[in-house]
Amino acid sequence: MSNAIIWVIMIPLLGSLISIIWSRYASLIAIISNLVALVASTAVLMRVYQSGPFLHELGGWHAGLGISLRADALSSILLVMSMTVISAATFYASAYFTDAAKRARFWPLWLMLTVALNALLLSGDLFNLYVTLELLGLSAVALTALSDNRAALQAAIRYLSIGLLGSLVFLAGVALVYAGYGTLDLATLASLVQANPLSQVAFGLMTAGLLIKSALFPLHFWLPSAHASAPAPVSAALSALVVKVAVYILLRLWVDVFDLVLTLSSTMLLGILGAIAVIWGSWQALQAQRLKLMAAYSTVAQIGYLFIFLPLIAALPEGALQDAAFTALLLMALTHGFAKSAFFLSAGVIQQYCGHDRIAELGGTARALPLTIFVISLSGVALIGLPPSGSFLGKWYLISSSFQAGQWWWIPVVLVGSVLATAYVFRILGHAFGPGESIGRVLNRGREEIPALILALFATLILGFGSAELWDLVAQHAEAAGN
């Protein structure tokens, strides 16, 4: 069923087109197309799980002339995660937008964002990565600007100009690669690339572009205002998926194509930037006055954790240890995806029903919105990395592999980061359970709270206990990459 890889991209695209024409039924179209795409993405994952990575050569052309879509362990897992988060946020959004005009505007762009995410995760061609990055950037900016107030528009404009600059720097790297190696297909490039000055400069440019897109520490200034001022389902997708997908491309380029080019010192630089991001992001999250701003800074911190893994993977010898570190990286990314989207969705519920999301005035929300606060605490567990959650395993392997690799200095960073994370999560819960009469009666808005609950449960329980399959999937990926 190699066509599932096409349906994953084409169903949301058709859904987006139809929702422009029949804007009255847009919510229904969006829910149906996202669910069908979710089923198709699990079909892709099952196929990869049983018979290994597979290729779909578009247009029947091969050997670099045409574009090929590639599904392997790394991309199919992230595909299923992003489709789950998108489907949950779609249910949430159908109840979240009360104003009909705004709802009619939201759906086409939301489905276009899904198309961009899926197309980017499955793409196997450098220029195609540029086009999907551009589509992702534009639809994310459009959705951020949907909340139509001054802060959102200023954040959207800064996000757009920085995003365009990142895409152009990435395209400059693609141009140099095409100049030197004469092909754009990642698979053929993997065999051609050697460590010569051209590859280093080209990969440097591509990394710089992707660092802008994934908001690593010095280049993260556009993220907090954009994620905090966007509507709740949009900031859930932005934080959980859009920044993570840029990290995915960096990983794919590095592991599959440019592994000879990368020196240990450059990964160490990325690791140090990641460490600063962890400390600085968590510290800023602690200072934040608003829930969504805190969640945005915590995203900056969590992205930092992913980059700490890079020097470890580069230093560890080929084989079981490196696979363990790689799987832990994947696990951290997945857990953060689920936990952060659950957090943003419940922050949206609080914003809508208490009229504000200022943390200091959250008194009494625990009594008024019990399920929402429970979901926030669950996702807090996953953000901190307490035992039942996937990120506990992730941080555990981070610490153990930094022992094995002899780079002990990452351990204090992880510990300080986790302590700060505990601080800012309990600050919220403290205020929420505190005295105060924000709304008189107990509210339960099933359609908005259940999706957030499911995502939070994914982050804590399913990824915590059920991550055994992840290990052999990545081991299979390692063999595929090895031979």
Residues 230 to 269 in contact with other proteins, rule: CB under 8 A = 231-232
- 112 vs 270, beta carbon nearer other proteins: 112
Contact (CB, 8 A) for 252 and 121: no
Closer of 152 and 321 to other proteins (Cβ): 152
- CA–CA distance, 105 with 107 (Å, rounded to integer): 6
Which string of b and e fits 199-220 if b means at least 16 CB within 10 Å?
Answer: bebbbbbbbbbbbbbbbbbebb
| The one among 150, 265, 318, 437 contacting other proteins by CB under 8 A | 150
Q: Residue 290: beta bridge partners?
A: 358
Question: Which run of H or of E encompasses 69?
Answer: strand 68-71
Report residue 129 as tokens. 């990565």
Binding residues for other proteins restricted to 55-84, rule: CB under 8 A: 56-61, 63-67
Figure out which of the listed residues 218, 355, 430, 434 binds other proteins, where binding follows CB under 8 A.
355
Q: Shortest gap between Cβ of 179 and other proteins (angstroms)? A: 3
Which one of 27-35, 129-137, 295-303, 409-417 is the stretch in contact with other proteins (CB under 8 A)? 129-137
Length of the chain, in residues: 483
Residue 191's CB is within 10 A of a number of other CB atoms, namely 9
For other proteins, the closer CB: 170 or 326:
170
CB of 108 or CB of 464, closer to other proteins? 108
Build a one-symbol-per-residue string for 298-337: x at contacts with other proteins by CB under 8 A, - elsewhere.
----------------------------------------
212 phi-psi bin (left φ>0, alpha ψ -120 to 50, beta other): alpha
Structure token pair of residue 440: 């008189």
* Smallest distance, other proteins to C-beta of residue 247, A: 21
Site residues (CB under 8 A) for other proteins, limited to 381-420: none
Nearest distance from C-beta of residue 60 to other proteins, angstroms: 4
Q: Is 20 in the site for other proteins (CB under 8 A)?
A: yes
Q: Give least dist CB 269 to other proteins, A.
A: 16
Q: Sign of dihedral through CA atoms 444, 91, 81, 156?
A: negative
CB of 483 to other proteins, least distance (A): 25
Please say whether the beta carbons of 192 and 183 come within 8 A: yes
Nearer to other proteins, 352 or 407 (CB): 352
Alpha helices (H) along 406-467: 410-433, 446-457, 463-465
Q: How many CB atoms lie within 10 A of CB 315?
A: 20
DSSP tag of 68: E
Site for other proteins, residues 93 to 122, rule: CB under 8 A: 98-102, 104-105, 108-109, 112, 115-116, 119
Of the candidate spans 5-13, 74-82, 309-317, 443-451, the one that interacts with other proteins by CB under 8 A turns out to be: 5-13
Of 198, 276, 279, 457, the residue at the interface with other proteins (CB under 8 A) is 198
Residue 19 or 402 having the CB closest to other proteins: 19
Whose CA is closest to 148, among 112, 106, 117, 111? Answer: 106
Q: Which of 1, 22, 387, 444 binds other proteins (CB under 8 A)?
A: 22
Q: How far is CA 226 from CA 150, 239, 377, 452, in A?
A: 12, 10, 24, 21
Contact call for residue 15 and other proteins (CB under 8 A) = no
Residues 6+ apart with CB under 8 A from 363: 431, 432, 434, 435, 436, 437, 438
CB of 351 to other proteins, least distance (A): 6
| Residues 155-174 within binding reach of other proteins (CB under 8 A) | 156-157, 160-161, 164-165, 168-169, 171-172
- The C-alpha atoms of residue 266 and residue 166 are separated, in whole angstroms, by 19
289 lines the binding site for other proteins (CB under 8 A): no
Task: Please give the residues from 23 up to 42 whose contact with other proteins meets the rule CB under 8 A.
Answer: 23-24
Select 61 or 426, whichever has its Cβ closest to other proteins: 61
Gap between the Cα atoms of 373 and 425, Å rounded: 11
